[in-house]
Amino acid sequence: MKIAIQGIPGSFHHQVALNCFGNDAEIVGFRTFEEVAKSVANGHCPYAVMAIENSIAGAILPNYELIDRYGLWIMDEYYLPISHNLMALPGQRIEDLTEVRSHPMALLQCKKFFQDYPKISLIDDVDTASVAQRIGEESLVGIGAIASKTAAAIYQLEILAADIQTVKNNFTRFILLCSERKPADFLPNKASLKLTISNEKGSLAHLLTLLSAHDLDLSKIQSIPVIDEPWNYSFFIDTVFDTYENYQSALAAVRAHGGGIKIFGEYRSRKEEAGIVFQPNIASR
């Protein structure tokens, strides 16, 4: 079973793919999230794991756009506790480093730590683990990586500072994607949607009131531009609900008020299971 991820062994995506699909899964690494989305849409990989938001750094907005554009289906979610570590070639000290490279989301999560090291430039790179791999393979002196302890072990780097993320309790929420909606043998209590409303005074307030009147709890709302209609916006919404009926009647009310709805996925909230190894519900998919 092929699972598409952005990254290589030692990356957080790789860890999540192993946690969710087991050690026998064939994990296929890509350099960009766009290639990941494409590989699921064109059938090369039946499933993908994709980071969507982090508790310190916030949402990865471009990934919402990819799910929308490639018409992918969110079938599950997974919360991974994230510990970032500064690492370099054995023998290097923090004072020797002039550059630290990592995935942009990882750099954002560790910005505060580097305030004490103004001589170090922080540089965006492909993913956490591939920087660690490059430093090891090319014996790069003066360059550090921010990555997992697993990456340090695989690529034989020394950890100079552990747990350097701004707050210790740091989670990234990942979503599990497939190419299309399949019949579910479970009752969802969470959905990811795109809602489009007319750009009129009070229309967003009205939409939120409608959702709240049907007991929908919004766990996320994010506005994104409608690219072919300048200054008009759609809203990506994650909502958690007690009953599927409430959710359906909320959607019916939004439609009745002229709102457009695209459903990206209906699944079970995994927040309370954060950090616990689990099997995704893929038996019937």
Ligand X SMILES: O=C(O)C(=O)C[C@]1(C(=O)O)C=C[C@@H](O)C=C1
**Residues found near ligand X in the complex (CB under 6 A):** 7, 11-13, 51, 54, 82, 103, 105-106, 127-129, 172
In terms of CB distance, is 48 or 51 closer to ligand X?
51
**CB of residue 252 to ligand X, shortest distance in Å:** 35
106: CB partners within 8 A, 6+ apart = 84, 128, 146, 147
Strand partners, 177: 48, 74
11 CB neighbour count, 10 Å cutoff: 28
In terms of CB distance, is 6 or 239 closer to ligand X?
6
In terms of CB distance, is 7 or 144 closer to ligand X?
7
Residue 261 CB burial class (10 angstroms; 0-12, 13-18, ≥19): middle
What is the tally of helices (H) and strands (E) in the chain?
A: 8, 15
**CB of residue 178 to ligand X, shortest distance in Å:** 19
**CB of residue 114 to ligand X, shortest distance in Å:** 16
Residue 91 in 3-state DSSP? coil
Rounded CA-CA distance 34/229 in Å is 23
In terms of CB distance, is 12 or 78 closer to ligand X?
12
Rounded CA-CA distance 99/101 in Å is 6
In terms of CB distance, is 129 or 195 closer to ligand X?
129
**CB of residue 7 to ligand X, shortest distance in Å:** 5
**CB of residue 203 to ligand X, shortest distance in Å:** 32
Residue 217 in 3-state DSSP? strand
